[in-house]
């Protein structure tokens, strides 16, 4: 995501700044959050499978 030509890092837990960026901020955050959650889920199931 860019803001005035500046790349903004989206934290997985979100932030007020991202929400204040409106629809683009919201959708970008959800995308990142869901991706991270998916990754986490995959890692957990892999770990569980190894056990």
Give the per-residue contact string, 11-50, with another protein (x = CB under 8 A; - = no).
x-xxxxx-xxxxxxxxx-----------------------
Measured at the CA of 28, the angle between CA 24 and CA 32, to 5 degrees, comes to 175
Q: How far is the CB of 24 from another protein (least distance, A)?
A: 7
31 vs 46, beta carbon nearer another protein: 31
d(CA 50, CA 33) in angstroms, rounded, equals 26
Our separate counts of H helices and E strands in the chain read 2, 2
Residues that bind another protein (CB under 8 A): 11, 13-17, 19-27
């Amino acid at each position: 995501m860019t803001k005035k030509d500046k790349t903004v890092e989206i934290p997985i837990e979100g932030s007020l700044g991202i929400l204040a960026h409106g629809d683009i901020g919201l959708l970008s955050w959800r995308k990142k959050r869901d991706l991270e959650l998916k990754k986490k889920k995959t890692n957990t199931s892999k770990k569980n499978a190894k056990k």
